Structures are given as structure tokens and as C-alpha cells.
């Protein structure tokens, strides 16, 4: 029986992976790409999605790539942890050789690396989403806004460090694999979303519709609380005397 890599080559012509970290704007970016029929990228490979399918990991990947492709193009978004977990589980099943990498798994793959310039705000947003359960809010929603518990600045600092680590890990992986990703910055995307979609489509060799649809269907969750919390996080991280992560490095 052919291995998964060979099977994937038989069901899709081209693939792309949006490498991301939490709260970097990936939901907005991938939704914009999907509306323009530049694939249907979303977070397919969360462990909970795979487990809920009732299929083996290899069966889930093959079916997902098959049914979620648009004109032979499959797109997805993958965090650093999700990519490592997916490849490990596939190897455990014997579906791919151990040590297989994402650029070896997906056929004719290109990478987009999405980051956010304001990592402080990204970390605050991640902490808030985790504790309130509100990750997104639709435009025009008049439902109640979840209350925010007292701000845990140390926990938010952990998110900041994780985001920074994941960005550096992706960049090191790109260097090692000699991959040149198409780099996207959330703040720049928001300035002209249609131009962002067109630039990605050109990178992938896809012709998007004209005009590119960019409806305002997601609310920005950033508010005055976010601004105050961001400043508190900065003050915490800017402490010059023996910051807390020094103790972590020592194993304390």
C-alpha cells in the first residue's frame, strides 16, 4: 500500500501552509483567502479535530486534503506544536517515515509565515481569549461581552515568550529546510486586505476574483482594557533586575 506522501500526491496538485502562532490574526487572513477561493485554509490539524473524526490520523489527513481542496489547491494553517504533533502521530501509525517534515508531507508546498508586529498585544489577546473563552466576535453581535478576570501578568508573559519562541523556531526551520516563506504581517494585512489577498494569490500562482471580497464580519476585540493590560505586561517584562524567566532557565 502506498504511503501517505504518495497518496496525497494523487489527490492534490498544490498545497500551502500558513505558519502561525495564536492571536496573530490568522483567522482574518485565512478567512479572506477562503472567500477569494485561494484554497480553504483553516486549522484542520488540531489534535481534537483529528480525534473527533473517528479515523486514523492518516485517513483524516488524506480525506481533509481531498475534500478541502479548491481547483487542486489545498491550504491550511499550522502552529509549531500542531505540525510537530501531526508528524509524530503519523509516524507512530507508520503512515510516514519518522523524521518526515511538513515540506515532505504536503505535495508541491509553499509556506506563508504570518506574524504580528505588536507581540505584547498578541500575548495579552491570547491570555484574554484563554480565560474568557471568547476567541472571536462576529460583527454586529449584540451578545454580552464575557467579563475579564483579574489580569495575570505572569501568565501573559509566558504567552509572550511562547510566541517569541515559536517565531524563532519557524525561522530556524525555514533556514534548515532551505524554505523561503512568503512573509505576512498582520498589521500590514489590515491596512489593505484586498491587496494582501492578491499578493498571496500571485505568490501561489492563483487568480483571485476581482474585486477581492473583504467583508467586515469580525469585530476587533481590542479595547481600553487591552491597552492597560499591554502596558502592565511591558512594565513586567522590562524589569531590569533578574526577570522571572532567568529563574526558569535555572530550573528554579
* Residue range 70-111, pLDDT digits in tens: 999 999 999 999 999 999 999 999 999 999 999 999 999 999
pLDDT higher than 90, residue 134:
no
Residue 211: per-residue pLDDT: 81
Burial code of 157-192, b = ≥16 C-beta within 10 A, e = fewer?
A: bbbbbbbeebbebbeebbeeeebebbebbbeebeee
Full domain range(s) for residue 145 = 4-249
Residue 1: per-residue pLDDT: 41
- pTM flag (> 0.85): yes
Reported confidence tier of residue 219, pLDDT bands at 50, 70, 90 = confident
Residue 240: per-residue pLDDT: 56
Report whether 120 contacts 229 (CB < 8 A). no
Strand order in the sheet with 109-115: 73-79, 14-20, 109-115, 182-185
Domain count of the chain? 1
When pLDDT is averaged across residues 203-216 and rounded to a whole number, the result is 84
Round to whole Å and give the CA distance between 43 and 26.
9
Minimal CA–CA distance to 173: which of 241, 230, 122, 102? 102
Residue 225's CATH number:
3.40.50.300
* Residue range 180-190, pLDDT digits in tens: 999 999 999 99
The rounded mean pLDDT for the chain is 91
Round to whole Å and give the CA distance between 58 and 56.
5
Amino acid at each position: 500500500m502506498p504511503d501517505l506522501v504518495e497518496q496525497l500526491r494523487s489527490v492534490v496538485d498544490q498545497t500551502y501552509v500558513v505558519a502561525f502562532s495564536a492571536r496573530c490574526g490568522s483567522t482574518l487572513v485565512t478567512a479572506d483567502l477562503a472567500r477569494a477561493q485561494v484554497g480553504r485554509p483553516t486549522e484542520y490539524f488540531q489534535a481534537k479535530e483529528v480525534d473527533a473524526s473517528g479515523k486514523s490520523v492518516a485517513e483524516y489527513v488524506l480525506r481533509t486534503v481531498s475534500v478541502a481542496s479548491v481547483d487542486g489547491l489545498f491550504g491550511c494553517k499550522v502552529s509549531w506544536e500542531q505540525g510537530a504533533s501531526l508528524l509524530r502521530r503519523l509516524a507512530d501509525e507508520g503512515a510516514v517515515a519518522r523524521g518526515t517534515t511538513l515540506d515532505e508531507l504536503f505535495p508541491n508546498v509553499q509556506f506563508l509565515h504570518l506574524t504580528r508586529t505588536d507581540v505584547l498585544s498578541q500575548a495579552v489577546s491570547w491570555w484574554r481569549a484563554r480565560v474568557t473563552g471568547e476567541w472571536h466576535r462576529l460583527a454586529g453581535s449584540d451578545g454580552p461581552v464575557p467579563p475579564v478576570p483579574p489580569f495575570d501578568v505572569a501568565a501573559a508573559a509566558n504567552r509572550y515568550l511562547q510566541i517569541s519562541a515559536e517565531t524563532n523556531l519557524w525561522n530556524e526551520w525555514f533556514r534548515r529546510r532551505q524554505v523561503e516563506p512568503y512573509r505576512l504581517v498582520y498589521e500590514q494585512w489590515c491596512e489593505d486586505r484586498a491587496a494582501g489577498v492578491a499578493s498571496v494569490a500571485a505568490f501561489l500562482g492563483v487568480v483571485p476574483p476581482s474585486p477581492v471580497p473583504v467583508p467586515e464580519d469580525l469585530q476587533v476585540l481590542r479595547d481600553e482594557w487591552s491597552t492597560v493590560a499591554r502596558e502592565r505586561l511591558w512594565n513586567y517584562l522590562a524589569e531590569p533586575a533578574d526577570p522571572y524567566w532567568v529563574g526558569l532557565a535555572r530550573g528554579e
